[in-house]
Chains A and B, each alone.
Chain A
Amino acid sequence: MYTEKTIKHFRTPKFAGEMKDADAVGEVGNIKCGDVMKMFLKVEDNVIKDIKFQTYGCIAAIAASDVMCQIAKGKTLDDASKITFKDVIKELDDLPQIKIHCSVLGTAALKKAIENYKGKVGMNVT
């Protein structure tokens, strides 16, 4: 079963919803596979000032998206790029084996959004 933390993030996600004036957006996944995640970033001085997500997916996917945003908020772009799926799983206290990919997808969406931002402002994508 899911951990209490996973259920809590699923039930009351703090970062869910669209961001209309986002500086950058990253989308990963495929609706056929059952999960699509979209991350919206607001960036100031290379720091993630605000972050939101939209996710099509199961309980784990929604919880992982929310926790991903929580970890990333306030971090510099470089630090945020280093977040791994293990950090997400740790923050959720665990994920069932077959749902690990949900956490991987979360980090991939964030990385894509960061790359998107760096491309826009002409930074070197590392």
Chain B
Amino acid sequence: MKEIYLDNGATTKVDPEVIKAMMPYFDEEYGNASSAHTLGVNAKNAIDEAREIIAKSINAKPEEIIFTSGGTESDNLAIQEIAYPNRNKGNHIITTKIEHKAVLNTCKFLEKDNFKVTYLDVDKEGFVDPKALEEAITDKTILVSIIHGNSETGTIQNLEELGSVCKKHDVYFHIDACQSYTKTSIDVEKQNLDLVTICGHKIHGPKGVGALYIRKGTNIHPLMHGGDHEFKLRPGTENTPGIIGFAEAVKLANNEHVEYITKLRDKLIDGILKIPDVKLNGPKGNKRLCNNTNFAFKGIEGEAIVGRLDVKGVCCSTGSACSEKSLEPSEVLKAIGLGDEEANGSIRLTLSRFSTEEEIDYVLKVLPEVVKTLRKISPFGGK
């Protein structure tokens, strides 16, 4: 049986067109973009073109885009290297309780170095209140870092509102947009963004490549030390095939895909909500990532549901919890008000443009059986 891949929030299949675009940069155009000869110049031109494509997609200038190894590096660069160079202005950072580990643990690291971090609450759908953000800003605040599209609850924050608060108080505004990029509009001018983290592998591009948008004039230092690559902000020979693949993935993404995925998502949500004792985590409608669904099932545990769905050929993930790596219920799900039991009983199904209606129909057929089987062997299964 061919697997049904509904874990696109974790990573995505690389589009065949992306692979095609990347291939020449392994064995034909393999020059170092810093070299003066033809092969070097060809690589540099290709990277410049990729930079333009990505800059345009968020209404930025090419020289404001720095290529990195991915979302985690971009988040670290944005947060650590705003924090230290701007320490003379203040030591206060504001983030939220629903961040990705790359942001959360970077903030925790800075706390050990005498930075103060405020973790904003969110409402029951996962939204940050702009008023709460404004109240948290002090004269020591230097940076606000907020996840744009949440990887678990699918919540898309209102960047215009949050950005205007940051602008009013003259603090840097960073967003982690790994999940939202190409799925909902990002405009660094309209939304007043100073730093934007994006990456390739969530949008059918390759793994190991990402970017950070850095507004011109931002006081930021490099995280690593080395050569003068990437406007002296990110040393290391450029990952040319990765960068080309990343830009190709951006070129391929379009609004029709978003509409298509949204339709499938809503069909999946409506179908799953017909199962008894289940609830949707996160908001409905256009304030939710087009490809994200997340449900809490009563009386059964998330990893067991994932394990049973895997037997049926469906790949998905726990919204949280008892995964092999961590036993703690998801902090994100707890932040939107779920109890430990509900958070432990949650799973996430995330779609892509390669998902089909037949796949959704199949999931809607097998998931109720899986839930029934597990409830039968659970002491809390009820009927």
Question: CB within 8 Å of B: which residues of A?
Answer: 1-2, 7, 10-11, 13, 16-18, 27, 31-38, 53-59, 61-62, 96, 98-99
Q: Are B304 and A98 in contact (CB under 8 A)?
A: no
Q: List 10 A-B contacts (CB under 8 A).
A: A13-B377, A31-B341, A32-B339, A33-B340, A34-B301, A34-B327, A56-B380, A57-B304, A62-B377, A98-B325
Question: In chain B, what residue has the closest Cβ to A37?
Answer: B379
9 shortest A-B CB distances, which residue pairs?
A58-B303, A16-B377, A58-B322, A54-B379, A56-B378, A32-B340, A38-B379, A59-B307, A34-B344
Contact flags (1/0) for B277-303 with A, using CB distance below 8 Å? Answer: 000000000000000000000011111
Extra contacts, 5 of them, besides A31-B344, A38-B379, A62-B304 (Cβ < 8 A), are A16-B377, A31-B340, A32-B339, A36-B379, A56-B300
When chains A and B are docked, how far (Å) is the Cα of A7 from the Cα of B325? 17
When chains A and B are docked, how far (Å) is the Cα of A33 from the Cα of B329? 9
Q: Are B379 and A99 in contact (CB under 8 A)?
A: no
When chains A and B are docked, how far (Å) is the Cα of A66 from the Cα of B377? 11
Q: Are B329 and A34 in contact (CB under 8 A)?
A: yes
CB contacts (< 8 Å) of A57 on chain B: these are 301, 304, 322
Known pairs A1-B324, A96-B324; A58 contacts B301 (CB<8 A): yes
* B368 part of interface (Cβ distance < 8 Å): no
CB contacts (< 8 Å) of B216 on chain A: these are none
Q: Chain B's nearest CB lies how many Å from the CB of A65?
A: 9
Known pairs A58-B301, A58-B322, A59-B307; A98 contacts B377 (CB<8 A): no
Question: In chain A, what residue has the closest Cβ to B341?
Answer: A31
Size bin of chain B's contact surface: 20 to 34
Q: Chain A's nearest CB lies how many Å from the CB of B334?
A: 12
Known pairs A32-B341, A54-B377; A98 contacts B324 (CB<8 A): yes
Select A56's contact among B299, B307, B324, B340, beta carbons within 8 Å.
Answer: B299
Q: Chain A's nearest CB lies how many Å from the CB of B369?
A: 14
When chains A and B are docked, how far (Å) is the Cα of A65 from the Cα of B49? 58
Known pairs A31-B341, A32-B340, A34-B340; A55 contacts B379 (CB<8 A): yes
CB contacts (< 8 Å) of A61 on chain B: these are 301, 304
* B381 part of interface (Cβ distance < 8 Å): yes
Question: In chain A, what residue has the closest Cβ to B311?
Answer: A11
CB contacts (< 8 Å) of B214 on chain A: these are none
Known pairs A34-B321, A62-B304; A56 contacts B379 (CB<8 A): yes
Question: In chain B, what residue has the closest Cβ to A65?
Answer: B377
Question: In chain A, what residue has the closest Cβ to B325?
Answer: A98
Question: In chain A, what residue has the closest Cβ to B322?
Answer: A58
Q: Chain B's nearest CB lies how many Å from the CB of A31?
A: 5
Q: Chain B's nearest CB lies how many Å from the CB of A2?
A: 8
When chains A and B are docked, how far (Å) is the Cα of A32 from the Cα of B300? 12
Q: Chain A's nearest CB lies how many Å from the CB of B335?
A: 17
Q: Are B377 and A36 in contact (CB under 8 A)?
A: no
Question: In this complex, which of B307, B326, B340, B377 has the most chain A Cβ atoms within 10 angstroms of its Cβ?
Answer: B377
Q: Are A54 and B301 in contact (CB under 8 A)?
A: no
CB contacts (< 8 Å) of A13 on chain B: these are 377
